[in-house]
Amino acid sequence: MQISIISVGKLKEKYLREGIEEYSKRLSAYCKLQIVEVSDEKAPEEMSAAEMEQVKRKEGERILAQIKQDQYVIALAIEGQMWSSEKLSAEMDRLALHGRSQVAFVIGGSLGLADTVLKRADALLSFSKMTFPHQLVRLVLLEQVYRAFRISRGEPYHK
């Protein structure tokens, strides 16, 4: 299986980079992993609704440029469905069984994802109704993908 993580913004914090490197290394035994960072749009602190939409639209264009036509896209969005780790594992198994072995997870910037990206997505996934920094979500996502592979193979994992 080929997993792509398409994320807005550069990872700056050392502890997050180290965690992502660790899970990337662990995942290499289960899949081919690609992490794609698209640049975030520079924006002032105070923005109108129209300016926020423009920022999301520009970031969305960068995201969509990285998505391959045959990829199954799972967008992380607060309005998405909340899955258990077991459900994520089952979904990934289902995709592999049906020949959808190229999966792209999409993480938006601080304002979320553009409607064009949400429409392109095959599934919307939410980790919580809470808001998290998108850089932290990248680490949590990698841990959950790793856990999903372990569950799928019947290997031990922390419950």
The predicted model gives 67-79 an average pLDDT of 95
Sheet of 32-38, strand order: 32-38, 2-8, 102-107, 72-82, 123-126
Whether 38 contacts 62, CB under 8 Å: yes
Length of the chain: 159
Q: Which residues are annotated as a binding site?
A: 76, 108, 127-132
> For 3-16, how does the pLDDT look when each residue is reduced to its tens digit (9 = 90+)?
999 999 999 899 99
Residue 39 has pLDDT above 70, yes or no: yes
Instruction: Supply the pTM of this predicted model.
Output: 0.94
Q: Which residues are annotated as a binding site for S-adenosyl-L-methionine?
A: 76, 108, 127-132
- CA 33, 84, 148, 139 torsion-angle sign: positive
- Which of 123, 138, 115 has its CA nearest to residue 8? 138
> For 79-133, how does the pLDDT look when each residue is reduced to its tens digit (9 = 90+)?
999 999 999 999 999 999 998 999 999 999 989 999 999 999 999 999 998 888 8
Amino acid at 47: M
- CA 44, 45, 47, 53 torsion-angle sign: positive
Please state, for a pLDDT cut of 90, what percent of the chain lies above it: 85
CA distance 90 to 96: 10
Whether 144 contacts 89, CB under 8 Å: no
Residue 55 has pLDDT above 80, yes or no: yes
pLDDT of residue 70: 93
